Structure 1
Amino acid sequence: MRNRIVLAISFLGLVSVCLPACIREGEPLEEESETAAQEVFTKNAFTKNALKASALTTDRLATEALTGNPLTSAAIAGSPDVLSALRDPMAREFLTYAAGCALPAGESVEVSLDGETYVFEGDVGLAPAWGRAHGHCNARCPGWVSACMLARVNHLGESLPISMRGQNKALDLGPAERESFPHREGAYFGDLFAPEQLRFACRSPGSTLIRRVCGGTGVDTEDCIVDVLGECDEICGPLESDGSFRNCGGGGHTIPTTVTIFRQ
């Protein structure tokens, strides 16, 4: 019997509640989602080495094969470049968080490699179309998945509950989550699949909670794995009704696929 290794992101709570105020009236949803709205209570321990130095980010053929094809078991099994990259444990960690951010809970990707079977579980569902039979990570998919992955980095590789908020249907906010996670940490945005990764963040005004990602005090962020551009109210658009920031500026671009993190 073959061994089964399950690589999954912990998920602490689901609730089928949707507040219409989460999306501006008349505004299209960033991604269609086939799942009910859910509270995004997550634990996160994505390491900075896996973020920037995995074989899925340093090997462009593997990166392009991953994003240019469906995020499914069959597509990965048919890609020698992705399979070769996944022999790197850091690449498997990268794909754990990519799949967890992109696919909804209940969906997963299985990869058989060197006699082992690895299972990469869906969780948040920010880019569900990527996991469909003829899907690929196009349009705003890289931005949403990257923002979510950046938000799940922990400087010490430790697990800590966070609440994700943003203008994507998968991040619809319920009252219990709003009450349980009242402290805004900051916002994250970028593109981890680009030839030169874009890794941006901003601090919530007056907050030092970003030390979860950067280490140190949360004030001096010079050596942070993400480029902390300042306070969010200076580089992003106005606050949304759920307390999240949108349209943050970085790398000469305005990036609407932004995830804002709240803490307990």
Structure 2
Amino acid sequence: MHNSDRIAVSFLGLLGMCLMACVGEADAPGEEQADAVEQGFLTRNALTPSALTANRSATQALTEGPLTSAAIAGNEEVMSALRDPLARDFLSYAVGCALPAEQSVEFSLDGEVYVVEGDIGVAPEWGRAHGHCNARCQGWISACILARINHLGERVPISMRGKNKALESDAAERAAFPLREATYFGDLFAPEPRRYACKSPGSTLISRVCGGTGVDTDGCIVDVLGDCDDVCHDPASDGSFPNCAADGRTISTTVTVFRQ
């Protein structure tokens, strides 16, 4: 994952949502956030069903319109769902994955102003004036969220790669993050969310997401389908696995994580 003005590495997690009042308390540019590397992580709770994902009409209302402040504020179905704290959490994860760092979504609820920051930018088209999030968009956001889960809630630097412009990497990043962990894909927007991963052959690094040793993946928050060599096409030039099979179909929106 590479952007010309920032380090192409994610410290697991999203900055998420905060009240407008807390914006001024953040570190000033050039201090601890000098490299614009994310500080945080996502836990298993990121995948908890919420009023926004369990309510099909709310999910449809969200994805059929643009991911902008005006569209969110003007959508009664979405705003009603956002009264659920878990729904606000999911929106923060979705915005962080979908939109680039220079974009954000703002809305007011019960007298509080929430600002949700973009970060990775795997589906920037959703944030345009007449945008929407189709199946491919939902696939990229789902894979991005799944790739950033941490079982223990620890801060672990990762490199996210795949066939998406936002996930492009350069030689320096690939050299700094040589250890392939796993590939993630699925659909968190579906009526029955689909959460999949496959392991890089011989790697136990998926313990970051699953817990345990990374060898026995029983009980993992994602369904580990085996080695990526068995369920995906041959790796791309950056080492990421494309086109992985699940549910009798091939999924092209995949994110492969590499570690130091």
- Aligned-partner SS, 1:202: strand
Q: State which of 178, 185, 189 in structure 2 corresponds to 1:189.
A: 185
Question: What is residue 109 of structure 1 aligned with on the other side?
Answer: 105
Count of matched residue pairs: 235
Higher mean C-alpha deviation, range 90-99 or range 250-259: 90-99
Question: What is residue 225 of structure 1 aligned with on the other side?
Answer: 221
Q: State which of 237, 241, 245 in structure 1 corresponds to 2:241.
A: 245
- Aligned-partner SS, 1:136: coil
Question: What is residue 151 of structure 1 aligned with on the other side?
Answer: 147
Deviations 1:208-249 (A, max 9, x none): 111111111111111111100001111000010000000001
Change (3 A) 1:140 1:94: same
Question: What is residue 4 of structure 1 aligned with on the other side?
Answer: 21
Cα offset for 1:54?
Answer: 2.2
Q: What CA distance in whole angstroms lies between the structure 1 residues aligned with 2:172 and 2:132?
A: 34
Confirm or deny: 8 A CA contact 1:4 1:118 kept in the other structure.
no
- Aligned-partner SS, 2:113: strand
Question: What is residue 234 of structure 1 aligned with on the other side?
Answer: 230
Confirm or deny: 8 A CA contact 1:46 1:154 kept in the other structure.
yes
Question: What is residue 8 of structure 2 aligned with on the other side?
Answer: none
TM-score scaled by length of structure 2: 0.85
Gaps in structure 1 of 5+ consecutive residues? 15-40
Q: What CA distance in whole angstroms lies between the structure 2 residues aligned with 1:241 and 1:101?
A: 23
Q: What CA distance in whole angstroms lies between the structure 2 residues aligned with 1:161 and 1:45?
A: 10
Confirm or deny: 8 A CA contact 1:57 1:193 kept in the other structure.
yes
Confirm or deny: 8 A CA contact 2:106 2:113 kept in the other structure.
yes
Q: State which of 41, 65, 90 in structure 2 corresponds to 1:45.
A: 41
Confirm or deny: 8 A CA contact 1:60 1:195 kept in the other structure.
yes
Deviations 1:22-44 (A, max 9, x none): xxxxxxxxxxxxxxxxxxx6555
Q: What CA distance in whole angstroms lies between the structure 2 residues aligned with 1:12 and 1:149?
A: 24
TM-score scaled by length of structure 1: 0.83
Higher mean C-alpha deviation, range 76-85 or range 197-206: 76-85
Identity among equivalent positions (%) equals 67
Q: What CA distance in whole angstroms lies between the structure 1 residues aligned with 2:244 and 2:70?
A: 36
Question: What is residue 173 of structure 1 aligned with on the other side?
Answer: 169
